[in-house]
Structure 1
Amino acid sequence: MLGHSKLSLLATTTLLLLAASETVTAQSVSDIVTPAFFDGIIGQADLSCAGKNFYSRDAFLTAVGSYPGFGTTGTSDDYKREIAAFFAHVTHETGHFCYIEEIDGASKDYCDETNTQYPCVSGKNYYGRGPIQISWNFNYGPAGVSIGFDGLGSPETVANDVIISFKTAFWYWMNNVHSIITSGQGFGATIRAINGAIECDGGNSAAVQARVGYYQDYCNQLGVAPGDNLTC
């Protein structure tokens, strides 16, 4: 049985290793997501865009520190492909970081009343917000629990706090997309994981091609082959 001093030392060492892991992750990703790369995306957004003064590379790097598996799984090429895929979807969803909230989102119903685990709160709307445009009560609820904000009672936090905003994107990505792109299933499978019901299988081929175009562009910028199975 470990003594109190050894337990304390073990706990301290564990915390230091976790902190070091987050630091290494942020540094590794920051080597790929350079200021020039990030600015090259957000720089295409019009000056009048709300997201222009909201999203930032610093906020992205701060948020990614809480998700040490992002952009650090597999080989260096895998790192780059995952990062290229993430930014391809973010670019498409937000218009090069122009939008914080979904256009006309408040007029749309994103409440799944059959989900009793994460019930909708009266007067609150769960339309798309943030880099990945997280939507629906069944996403806001668990995202809030994981990140540490009231996703059901205060979904607007995603549009007001840029760190939380990026964290919702990473939360969704790590739970639904990360294993797909890092296991070599191809970019097309990531489209299916994000908006497949609407865009895949001929649903909206223009949107699919737009996402693929961004992905190929970012892969080219990062110096990595995009791989196979690009569409869905």
Structure 2
Amino acid sequence: MSKLSLLSMLIGCSFAANSFAMNPQPDPQNPTGYIVSRVELKAAEDAQTANPMYAVWAKALETRPNIIVDAIEPKAASNPENVKRVEKVFPQEQWDFLTQMAKEKAPEYTYTRFLRAIGKFPAFCGEYTDDRKSQSDAICKKSIITAFAHFSQETGGHISKENIWDNPLGLEEWQQALVHVREMGWSEGQEGYTTGCGQDDWQNKRWPCAAGQGYFGRGAKQLSYHFNYGAFSEVMYDGDASVLLNNPGLVADSWLNLASAIWFFLTPQAPKPAMLHVIDRTWTPSQREIDAGIGYGFGTTINVINGGIECGEQNKTKGQPVNRIRYWEGLAAHYNIPVELDEENTCWQQTPYGSLNLNGATDVLYTNWDGNWKNHADRPGGVSFECELVGFQTAYSALVPGDYEKCVTNFYRSHANWPEVRVVEKIDLPTEPTDPNAWKANTVYNQGERVVVNGVTYEAKSWTQGDNPELSDQWGPWKKV
């Protein structure tokens, strides 16, 4: 499979990062604020995301309108191409084979909803246009089977095949996915998972909790906590976080119960790659990741999901990762999914991502914006009026259009030392006078030198700079000639 080499691209980006200029000006509508031009902000953003991989990642997160998704039905001629590919490599009978237990316990999961969840994201099971084109079907099938291995752990029955009382059909554990649509012990109407709600921080400013709602685990990936519901809602509803924050039950009772898992599958969480890009090898591990044992294979998808408590030597025999690996190996064998020589099914030999320090690595790309706190002596107060890419989660993603501008303009609300910023299309700066003798604010004048302002000549009484002659009184540095 082809790979995109990041290092050479990053070297090019390091030069581009300084190819823009910021020229913030006092805001005429706000005595304590500043204005910046949208053109300058776009240049600042583009310079930091010039690496082609950012476009690849953003492309993977593109979505279709819900009006198209809601019309998807099995075998419909109007179905999008990636949905038709799924119907070919994983038809209804295969869905039924892996969800026999789910039919009784969680009927909210259906094949139609599965197709709609995939139809929302054209990149999942999409057509590759490079030298992986001929492998599009194989990558699609491997992606689905990988997802089901994790479904079997996250929402599976975990009932032994020999336990015929609870498992009368004698199903393998890897056939027992999707039997929970809500986290065990929780039901609609219960408040919960509201840790942090109401705090004065960036998460609550962007994704405010709704009164009386519970953000416990729902759906195939058990989406939890208000910040995840808010971020997912923005993807599903054209940037509107309030839909799922106000009605989180939709993640259980509609095709969002599977779409939430596909979204997670496609979303990189800096510095962790998207699971799809581990499988299709769009991602190339950095040297530090390689040194930490992180490479291709199912094991790295475990690290992406839950590496902090499932990966590393200390978790080698722990139940969760052992289950995931068993389910993956059972599914891969049943569906004849090849495991390449450089792929590892396990992650006990890997350093968990949460313990891996990638700061400063030149072959790693980050996906979240945070305020740039570096001093800029040429700008008001030394403030940068910019955001920069960081290796931790923030409210602003480099893969979401408009988030860079939100980072710059919203930052003052949560950081006392950050000025209020308003974006304008264009800043009209005063033009320099054309009269060679005209007074200039930035010029130093010594005693005896003369200037002209609005046709009146003034003479400097002493050294001066920046003092408007028209405003100079009898004690000022200027006198009329």
TM-score bin, normalised by smaller chain: 0.7 to 0.9
Partner of 2:256: 164
Partner of 1:83: 144
| Counterpart residue type for residue 332 of structure 2 | C
Q: Do residues 180 (structure 1) and 278 (structure 2) align?
A: yes
CA-to-partner distance for each residue in 1:123-161, whole Å, 9 max, x for gaps? 222111101111122211011111127121111111122
Among the aligned pairs, what percent are the same residue? 26
Using the TM superposition, name which of 93-102 and 180-189 deviates more.
180-189
CA-to-partner distance for each residue in 1:29-78, whole Å, 9 max, x for gaps? 1112122321121113473x1x1x21111210122112121133542432
Report the TM-score when normalising by structure 1: 0.80
Question: Which of these two proteins has the greater Rg computed from alpha carbons?
Answer: 2
Q: Flag structure 1 segments of 5+ consecutive residues without an equivalent.
A: 1-14
Q: Following the alignment from structure 1 to structure 2, what is the Cα–Cα distance between the partners of residues 40 and 63? A: 19
Note the 1:38-187 alignment, pairs <5 A.
Answer: 38-45=95-102, 47=104, 49=105, 51=106, 53-72=107-126, 74=132, 75=135, 76-95=137-156, 96-105=177-186, 109=193, 111-113=195-197, 114=201, 115-116=203-204, 117-148=206-237, 150-161=243-254, 163-176=255-268, 177-183=275-281, 185-187=296-298
**Greater fraction of residues in strand:** 2
| Counterpart residue type for residue 178 of structure 1 | L
Higher RCO structure (Cα 8 Å, ≥6 apart): 1
Report the TM-score when normalising by structure 2: 0.40
* Contact 1:126–1:135 (8 Å) recurs in 2: yes
Q: Following the alignment from structure 1 to structure 2, what is the Cα–Cα distance between the partners of residues 45 and 99? A: 8
* Contact 2:230–2:245 (8 Å) recurs in 1: yes
Count of paired positions:
212
Q: Flag structure 2 segments of 5+ consecutive residues without an equivalent.
A: 1-64, 70-76, 157-176, 269-274, 284-295, 348-481
Partner of 1:229: 344
| Counterpart residue type for residue 29 of structure 1 | V
Q: Following the alignment from structure 1 to structure 2, what is the Cα–Cα distance between the partners of residues 44 and 110? A: 31
Q: Following the alignment from structure 2 to structure 1, what is the Cα–Cα distance between the partners of residues 125 and 330? A: 18
Runs of 4+ with deviation above 6 angstroms: 18-22
Q: Following the alignment from structure 1 to structure 2, what is the Cα–Cα distance between the partners of residues 92 and 194? A: 11
Partner of 1:4: none
Q: Following the alignment from structure 1 to structure 2, what is the Cα–Cα distance between the partners of residues 55 and 206? A: 26
Deviation at 1:170, TM superposition (A): 1.4
Q: Secondary structure at the match of 2:80?
A: helix
